[in-house]
């Protein structure tokens, strides 16, 4: 006989962990107890040595799908003579459960039940269990139980109550458990907001089949759905939603259906079918389908709520599913707001009476060379924390602005927010501020210090400054690209000094100019700038971001090439000569934009990053690069792009295929990075390099660059758990602030 104390750290509360342990303990004839702690659960178990060993072996293998076991610590303790197995009630504990599960897509067991005509939840749109269903989006407060979720409006019927209290049942302690007797109900409203009678899901399907646009209430907000096989319907949706060219996501009935339009690798299938159900960017199978996406990829997701499953059938197996919001405002989540805001856009509304407490957009990821990358880490992932080394203080990191996020640190956890959006919208800013308070309450965090970007005009900076002043808290302002670098270090659990290649559109540098093609060396404490690119003049400042032909003009002019072909060339020349609103930028995004315009791919952007995305999509397989010229500018090794621009112009004049030039352009950047990093490694002795910044959403770069750098003897790290774009930035800010000892009061 042996007695063990087993401490399990991770996400093991509210995920069906205790019933699982109960079963496993019984299988191995063990006795003892289990109780929740602030960081997980603690087990005291007694039994035969072999049985205990088997228990420990099976524990991580058989754990419920939502559980995340970070660490199992086992210690032998004196014999206690337990005679049974006991679950010690967590309510009596002083310390609060700190972790909350994300929303999880419907599980295979529930799907089977809802397809079974004999089951009492046959075709029930709110079926869920311990392993699946809404969590984060319905929780109002902690501790997590039904009374503190939007399910409180639906008292359990005796049948559900019995399941809830039966430890043998797969709905044991499933807070949102319900059935057709006691649960929420569906409604269908027409364009005028009048309710329709009948089989509600069938009404929605009929409307969709007829080509109508239907607003569908999901987990974290509304979607606008319509048929995706008809370009004219998609066109109507674009017009009504004022979404000119930005790609639409598609919901496919299953992976089989997704394969009709896209290639789906085994890894992509695993993620599509997994419990978190993000949108996965897949390669289009054939040309066409431009009405869905103008580049080579389509964002595809599978149905993740039982309601979504009811949308398919009667000949429908694929739908456009786009977030219901207007020009960058937050996604619509409330019924009344939906009818109001989507008037004239939606022809029908498929809604229900379970309130969405917290909005949460779909997550967006892709798979490249076997790795999963995020553009947006939101529904299905948030608020699951990223683990970091123990933090002495509780800190709020306020993020950037256009792709805002925040991050709260406590103990060994960093809680990143869901996708928030662009803070320049008043509604988005309010959403941001409310979510910060919501997270602080949920996770019982009282920030003792704040950290934000260096940019004085970011609304996240203003928020941090005001709050620091009001509450008398110290505030640290961190340079944008240093934060990116730190985010990637934290993402990979790195400490100490490294090199950081940070490429993005823009971020304020320590010299007051805009940066974005940077090579840094440093750690969480600080950094030096070792490399960059030759600064680019941006005639018109921010206008140049939306109108890449302005950047093309300035690249051509600096390179000594003819600018006659450029729109407004004369006026741009006058503006540049006068130096009127012509800031300098080393943003890699600008270089992409300018080259995209020179190659005739895109002169103006109707959504962020469009010119760069289309350039990537246009690139062929061609190997080869333009000459790389690096210039030492007082210790900063700058990539001088002028020779490259001249070569591109020459190719264009001689009729070289755009696909060849686009590929060579990216290969040239890879060569430039390799040369810069080789020099930096030699100078500093550092071998580890982290890649961060929004430019690394480019899959051509991410496919080729790491191999090229590893050939130079460098070890390359990329983002794995958070986005490389500004959404992941707050994690870096948090780690930098945590690494500082004392910070000055603001
Ligand atoms: Zn389930
Ligand atoms: Zn019920
Ligand atoms: Fe950035």
What is the average pLDDT across 399-422? 96
CA of 155 to the centre of ligand 2 (A): 8
CA of 119 to the centre of ligand 2 (A): 13
Interval 201-248: pLDDT, tens: 999 999 999 999 999 999 999 999 999 999 999 999 999 998 889 999
Contact between residue 414 and residue 490 where contact means Cβ atoms under 8 Å apart: yes
Tell me which DSSP letter residue 168 carries: T
Interval 69-83: pLDDT, tens: 888 999 999 999 999
- Count CB neighbours of 259 within 10 A: 15
Main-chain phi, psi angles of 440, to 5 degrees? -60, -40
Residues with Cβ < 8 Å from 679, sequence gap 6 or more? 530, 531, 630, 637
**Whole-number Å distance between alpha carbons of 464 and 455:** 12
Which of these, 68, 65, 6, lies nearest to 33 by C-alpha position?
A: 6
96: pLDDT strictly greater than 60: no
**Whole-number Å distance between alpha carbons of 455 and 453:** 5
Nearest ligand to the CA atom of 305: 1
Contact between residue 397 and residue 464 where contact means Cβ atoms under 8 Å apart: no
What is the average pLDDT across 651-679? 97
CA of 687 to the centre of ligand 3 (A): 24
Q: Read off the pTM.
A: 0.94
**Whole-number Å distance between alpha carbons of 7 and 97:** 15
CA of 111 to the centre of ligand 1 (A): 7
The listed CATH number (3.90.550.10, 3.40.50.300, 3.40.190.10, 3.90.870.40) that belongs to domain 186-364:
3.90.870.40
What is the average pLDDT across 638-666? 97
CA of 273 to the centre of ligand 1 (A): 14
Nearest ligand to the CA atom of 728: 3
Q: In terms of DSSP bridges, do strands 527-533 and 514-522 run parallel, antiparallel, or are they unpaired? A: antiparallel
397: pLDDT strictly greater than 80: yes
358: pLDDT strictly greater than 60: yes
CA of 338 to the centre of ligand 1 (A): 28
Tell me which DSSP letter residue 107 carries: P
What is the average pLDDT across 624-639? 97
**Whole-number Å distance between alpha carbons of 544 and 589:** 11
> What CATH architecture applies to the domain 2-87?
2-Layer Sandwich (3.30)
What percent of the chain is modeled with pLDDT above 90?
A: 87
Contact between residue 284 and residue 296 where contact means Cβ atoms under 8 Å apart: yes
Predicted pLDDT at 277: 97
Q: What is the DSSP string of 52-73?
A: HHHHHHHHHHH--TT-EEEEEE
**Whole-number Å distance between alpha carbons of 541 and 187:** 49
Nearest ligand to the CA atom of 64: 1
CA of 333 to the centre of ligand 2 (A): 25
Q: In terms of DSSP bridges, do strands 715-717 and 688-692 run parallel, antiparallel, or are they unpaired? A: parallel
**Whole-number Å distance between alpha carbons of 679 and 682:** 5
- Grouping H, G, I as helix, E, B as strand and the rest as coil, residue 97 is coil
CA of 258 to the centre of ligand 1 (A): 23
Predicted pLDDT at 94: 46
Predicted pLDDT at 44: 96
CA of 626 to the centre of ligand 3 (A): 27
Cα angle 623-629-635, degrees, rounded to a multiple of 5: 130
Tell me which DSSP letter residue 501 carries: E
Which of these, 666, 687, 578, 573, lies nearest to 617 by C-alpha position?
A: 666
CA of 46 to the centre of ligand 3 (A): 53
- Grouping H, G, I as helix, E, B as strand and the rest as coil, residue 335 is helix
97: pLDDT strictly greater than 60: no
Mean model confidence pLDDT for the chain: 94
**Whole-number Å distance between alpha carbons of 690 and 391:** 22
CA of 448 to the centre of ligand 3 (A): 26
CA of 180 to the centre of ligand 2 (A): 6
CA of 497 to the centre of ligand 3 (A): 21
**Whole-number Å distance between alpha carbons of 152 and 141:** 12
Nearest ligand to the CA atom of 124: 2
Which of these, 663, 541, 529, 552, lies nearest to 602 by C-alpha position?
A: 552
Q: In terms of DSSP bridges, do strands 318-323 and 636-640 run parallel, antiparallel, or are they unpaired? A: unpaired
Nearest ligand to the CA atom of 480: 3
Q: Which CATH superfamily includes the segment(s) 498-520+528-719?
A: ATPase, nucleotide binding domain (3.30.420.40)
Interval 428-446: pLDDT, tens: 999 999 999 999 999 999 9
Interval 523-559: pLDDT, tens: 999 999 999 999 999 999 999 999 999 999 999 999 9
The listed CATH number (3.40.50.1370, 3.40.50.300, 3.30.70.1070, 3.30.420.360) that belongs to domain 385-492+729-738:
3.30.420.360
Is the peptide bond between 640 and the residue preceding it cis, with omega within 30 degrees of 0?
Answer: no
Q: Give the C-alpha distances (Å, rounded to integers) separating 308 from 125, 215, 254.
A: 8, 12, 12
CA of 503 to the centre of ligand 3 (A): 8
Nearest ligand to the CA atom of 184: 2
Nearest ligand to the CA atom of 516: 3
Q: Give the C-alpha distances (Å, rounded to integers) separating 655 from 599, 658, 661.
A: 11, 9, 10
Q: In terms of DSSP bridges, do strands 297-301 and 279-283 run parallel, antiparallel, or are they unpaired? A: antiparallel
Nearest ligand to the CA atom of 483: 3
**Whole-number Å distance between alpha carbons of 444 and 13:** 16
Interval 552-593: pLDDT, tens: 999 999 999 999 999 999 999 999 999 999 999 999 999 999
**Beta-bridge partners for 92:** none
Nearest ligand to the CA atom of 183: 2
CA of 85 to the centre of ligand 2 (A): 29
Predicted pLDDT at 19: 83
Region label for 713, one of left (φ > 0), alpha (ψ between -120 and 50) or beta (otherwise): left
Nearest ligand to the CA atom of 104: 1
pLDDT classification of 87: cutoffs 50, 70, 90: confident
**Whole-number Å distance between alpha carbons of 667 and 704:** 8
Give the residue extent of every domain in the chain.
2-87, 108-164, 186-364, 385-492+729-738, 498-520+528-719
- Grouping H, G, I as helix, E, B as strand and the rest as coil, residue 498 is strand
Q: Give the C-alpha distances (Å, rounded to integers) separating 240 from 118, 234, 247, 291, 324.
A: 43, 10, 15, 15, 11
Which of these, 48, 15, 58, 17, lies nearest to 35 by C-alpha position?
A: 17
CA of 743 to the centre of ligand 1 (A): 47
Q: How many whole angstroms from its chain centre is CA 512?
A: 30
What is the average pLDDT across 369-395? 94
Predicted pLDDT at 92: 44
Interval 145-180: pLDDT, tens: 899 999 999 999 999 999 999 988 999 889 999 999
CA of 164 to the centre of ligand 2 (A): 10
Largest Cα–Cα distance of the chain, in whole Å? 91
**Whole-number Å distance between alpha carbons of 483 and 401:** 14
Contact between residue 565 and residue 603 where contact means Cβ atoms under 8 Å apart: no
**Whole-number Å distance between alpha carbons of 149 and 151:** 5
CA of 10 to the centre of ligand 1 (A): 21
**Whole-number Å distance between alpha carbons of 14 and 102:** 10
CA of 182 to the centre of ligand 2 (A): 4
- Grouping H, G, I as helix, E, B as strand and the rest as coil, residue 332 is coil
**Whole-number Å distance between alpha carbons of 222 and 216:** 5
Q: In terms of DSSP bridges, do strands 449-453 and 364-368 run parallel, antiparallel, or are they unpaired? A: unpaired
Same topology for domains 385-492+729-738 and 498-520+528-719, yes or no? yes
pLDDT classification of 63: cutoffs 50, 70, 90: very high
First to last CA, the chain: 60
Q: What is the DSSP string of 292-319?
A: T-SSSEEEEE---SHHHHHH-BTTB-EE
What is the average pLDDT across 260-289? 94
Q: Which long-range contacts does 266-271 make (Cβ < 8 Å, 24+ apart)?
A: 267/367, 267/370, 267/372, 268/367, 271/365, 271/367, 271/372
**Whole-number Å distance between alpha carbons of 24 and 55:** 7
């Amino acid at each position: 006989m042996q007695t063990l104390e087993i401490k399990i750290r991770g996400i093991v509360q509210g995920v069906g962990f205790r019933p699982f342990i109960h079963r496993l303990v019984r299988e191995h004839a063990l006795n003892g107890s289990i109780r929740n702690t602030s960081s997980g659960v603690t087990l005291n178990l007694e039994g035969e040595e072999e049985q205990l060993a088997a228990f420990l072996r099976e524990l991580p293998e058989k754990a419920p799908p939502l559980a995340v076991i970070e660490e199992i610590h086992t210690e032998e303790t004196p014999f206690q003579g337990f005679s049974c197995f006991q679950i010690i009630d967590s309510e009596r504990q002083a310390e609060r459960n700190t972790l909350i599960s994300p929303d999880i897509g419907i599980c295979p067991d529930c799907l089977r039940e809802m397809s079974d005509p004999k089951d009492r939840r046959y075709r029930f749109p709110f079926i869920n269990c311990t392993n699946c269903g809404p969590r984060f989006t319905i929780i109002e407060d902690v501790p997590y139980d039904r009374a503190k979720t939007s399910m409180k409006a639906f008292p359990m019927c005796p049948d559900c109550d019995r399941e809830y209290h039966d430890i043998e049942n797969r709905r044991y302690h499933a807070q949102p458990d319900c059935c057709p007797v006691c649960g929420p109900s569906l409604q269908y409203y027409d364009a005028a907001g009048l309710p329709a009678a009948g089989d509600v899901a069938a009404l929605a399907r009929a409307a969709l089949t007829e080509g109508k646009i239907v607003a569908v209430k999901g987990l974290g907000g509304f979607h606008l759905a319509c048929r995706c096989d008809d370009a004219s319907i998609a066109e109507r949706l674009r017009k009504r939603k004022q979404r000119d060219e930005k790609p639409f996501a598609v919901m496919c009935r299953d992976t089989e259906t997704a394969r009709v339009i896209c290639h789906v690798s085994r890894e992509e299938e695993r993620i599509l079918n997994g419990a978190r159900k993000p949108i996965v960017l897949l390669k289009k199978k054939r040309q066409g389908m431009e009405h869905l996406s103008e580049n080579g990829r389509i964002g595809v997701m599978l149905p993740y709520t039982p309601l979504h499953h009811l949308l398919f059938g009667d000949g429908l197996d694929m739908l456009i599913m786009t977030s219901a919001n207007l020009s960058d405002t937050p996604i619509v989540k409330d019924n009344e707001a939906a009818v109001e805001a989507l008037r004239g856009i939606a022809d029908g509304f498929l809604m229900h009476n379970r309130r969405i407490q917290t909005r949460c957009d779909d997550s967006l990821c892709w798979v490249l060379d076997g790795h999963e990358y995020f553009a947006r880490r939101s529904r299905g992932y948030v608020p699951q924390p990223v683990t970091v080394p123990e933090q002495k203080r509780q800190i709020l990191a306020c993020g950037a602005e256009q792709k805002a996020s925040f991050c709260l640190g406590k103990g060994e956890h960093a809680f990143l927010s869901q996708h928030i959006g662009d803070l320049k919208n008043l509604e988005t800013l309010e959403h941001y501020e409310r979510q910060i308070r919501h997270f602080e309450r949920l996770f019982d965090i009282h920030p003792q210090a704040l950290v934000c970007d260096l940019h004085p005009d970011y609304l996240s900076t203003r928020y941090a400054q005001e709050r620091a002043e009001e509450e008398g808290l110290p505030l640290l302002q961190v340079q944008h690209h240093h934060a990116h670098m730190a985010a990637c270090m934290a993402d990979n659990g790195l400490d100490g000094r490294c090199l950081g290649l940070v490429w993005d559109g823009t971020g304020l540098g320590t010299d007051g100019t805009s940066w974005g093609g940077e090579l840094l060396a440093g750690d969480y404490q600080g950094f030096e700038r070792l490399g960059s690119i030759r600064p680019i003049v941006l005639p018109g400042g921010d206008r140049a971001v939306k109108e890449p032909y302005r950047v093309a003009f300035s690249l051509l002019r600096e390179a000594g090439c003819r600018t006659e072909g450029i729109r407004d060339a004369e006026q741009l020349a006058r503006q540049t000569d006068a130096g009127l609103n012509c800031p300098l930028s080393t943003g890699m995004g600008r270089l992409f934009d300018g080259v995209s315009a020179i190659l005739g791919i895109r002169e103006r952007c109707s959504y962020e990053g469009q010119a760069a995305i289309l350039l990537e999509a246009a690139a062929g397989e061609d190997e080869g690069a333009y000459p790389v010229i690096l210039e030492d500018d007082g210790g900063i090794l700058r990539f001088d792009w002028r020779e490259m621009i001249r070569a591109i112009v020459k190719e264009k004049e001689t009729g070289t295929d755009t696909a060849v030039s686009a590929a060579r352009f990216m290969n040239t950047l890879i060569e430039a990075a390799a040369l810069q990093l080789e020099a930096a490694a030699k100078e500093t002795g550092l071998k580890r390099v982290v890649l961060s910044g929004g430019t690394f959403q480019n899959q051509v770069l991410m496919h080729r660059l790491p191999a090229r750098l590893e050939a130079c003897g460098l070890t390359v790290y990329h983002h794995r758990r958070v986005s490389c774009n500004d959404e992941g930035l707050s994690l870096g800010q948090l780690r930098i602030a945590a690494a500082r000892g004392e910070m000055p009061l603001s």
